Amino acid sequence: MRTSTWWLAVGACLSIPSAAAYGDQAGASASLPKLVIGVVVDVRPDQMPVIDFERQVVNAISSAFEGLSAEGFVVAYSDRVQWITGVSTLESALRDGGRRINADSIVAPPFASVLNDSVAEGLERLASEAGAVRKALIVVGEGNDGASSTKFSTVLQRAKGDSVQCFALFVATHRSQVGRIRQYGFDLMRLASATHGKIYDVRTEPERLDKAVTDLKRRLVPQS
């Protein structure tokens, strides 16, 4: 069953050597291993009503990590995976990617979503980054998949196998959960739970987004 489309989800995945590294740590920023962050954005036609907020999310992430020595890239998905930027400095990749994010006008079949495929390609790109000990994958998208050739179980196994910590920020004009019933984002919730991550229901409220991004940075860069 197709869920409401006036929302987006943001999931972040951080590669850390061991579960012990998930907690707060002391030390200077200079001691941090190389950090690479990939951003995956949902650009299906259904996302047109929230495309500006998608850009706002990407810009907020860029601003939160400003000044840190990090690299990144942006990839989009609808009924296919579309690379928006290659790997470059994080600020450059996110600012450039944010400006180039646009919703597709048509997909085939209607409402097709290859979330799993895009996450898999993002994980593969991160794996190819030599020297990147800390790797984050931030997913900005619907949170449910309907057309990928990659199974969620494959994505989950790969993320866990690479010690990737995952997060999700749910953005919508309505709540992601009503009572005990979750409306969307089931797989991203499972991914976050299985990898010592966290989900945030920020809806379309800037204040909620600011708090979520602040907490996200604290978790990805505990010394900040």
Q: Check if the beta carbon of residue 40 is closer than 8 Å to that of residue 140.
A: yes
pLDDT band at 182 (very low <50, low <70, confident <90, very high): low
Query: Which residues make Cβ contacts (< 8 Å) with residue 126, sequence separation at least 6?
Result: 15, 36, 38, 132, 135, 137, 162
How many residues does this entry show for the chain?
A: 224
| Residue 39: pLDDT over 80 | yes
* 76 beta partners: 41, 82
pLDDT band at 186 (very low <50, low <70, confident <90, very high): confident
Percent of the chain whose predicted confidence (pLDDT) is above 70? 79
Domain spans, the chain: 7-220
pLDDT band at 181 (very low <50, low <70, confident <90, very high): low
Whole-Å CA distances, 100 to 6, 74, 85, 94: 20, 10, 9, 10
pLDDT confidence of residue 18: 47
Mean pLDDT in residue range 110-130 = 88
Top pLDDT among 128 and 100 is at: 100
For 88-115, write each residue's pLDDT tens digit.
Answer: 999 999 999 999 999 998 888 877 899 9
Looking at the structure, give the CATH architecture of the domain made up of residues 7-220. 3-Layer(aba) Sandwich (3.40)
For 136-151, write each residue's pLDDT tens digit.
Answer: 888 877 777 889 999 9
pTM confidence score: 0.83
